Structure 1
Amino acid sequence: MKILILNGPNLNLLGIREKSVYGNRSFEDYFDELKEAFPALELSYFQSNTEGTLIDKLHEVGFGDYKGIVFNAGAYTHTSVALSDAIKAIDTPVIEVHISNVYAREAFRHKSMIAPHCKGSIAGFGLESYRLALQYFERQKPKRIGFNA
């Protein structure tokens, strides 16, 4: 089962930026750990600081072989109607994730523009938020056509 992990702006700075909020590990190091922990999933990873590039990636994987997208849109979560529309338009289910507990932070972070079009949202568990989303996808059974004998 193919799953994309998609990270938005400033998440390329994990391990460097605001360690008290985001921790001291790079996402690339954590991604290696996720690949080992989920051998049944074919994981890919993409990060961009550019809204249009994130939309293009959603369009690219949203209608084909991918069975899920784990998306941390970063600050675009709270501002991007365009990302919200892109998620709404695609077939592939999206789970919104956040490293920090956005509800314990500034008030503007309490509103997600993308959540209404996502399968669910996970926030506040550090990098483990990604693992929780992957566990959901891992447990999904492929739909079968026909009858069981």
Structure 2
Amino acid sequence: MRVDFYQLGAVPHDSVISAIAGRLTGEGQRLLVVAEDEALLARLDRQLWDQGASSFLAHGIAGGSDDARQPILLSRQVDAPNLARNLLIADGEWRDAALSFDRAFYLFDTETLEAARLAWKLLSGREGVERHYWANEDGKWVEKG
């Protein structure tokens, strides 16, 4: 299982999540996006709808009758009724349930930096876990470790 740590810096959550979601769905994969904050999920919902006609990202907010059909599902819970094998943690709060996915994208900013450091340490040396750390430099994501 692979965990990609993304240090956001000045890059907005919305644009990073849209880019990751677009790439995964373009490859025919599904994604579960998790955040405890309902306001963040609502903002992401609007962002994914407002991609424009040519780049609309089909998605839904968990709790609907079509959850299983959604290529991208926004949720407060790490439960994937859409059978996603990719998890994106949007609120900087690590969840061990992420380890049951094939890949996790862990987004963090300055407010959640200490939690990210702790998650990085906790995953160190854990069998079957491959960690990658990404930082944005001049508008490009560069792998740091």
State TM-score, norm by structure 1. Answer: 0.41
Larger Rg, first or second structure (1 or 2): 1
Structure with the largest fraction of helix: 1
Q: Which has the higher contact order (CA 8 A, sep 6+)?
A: 2
Q: Counting strand residues as a fraction of each chain, which structure ranks higher?
A: 2
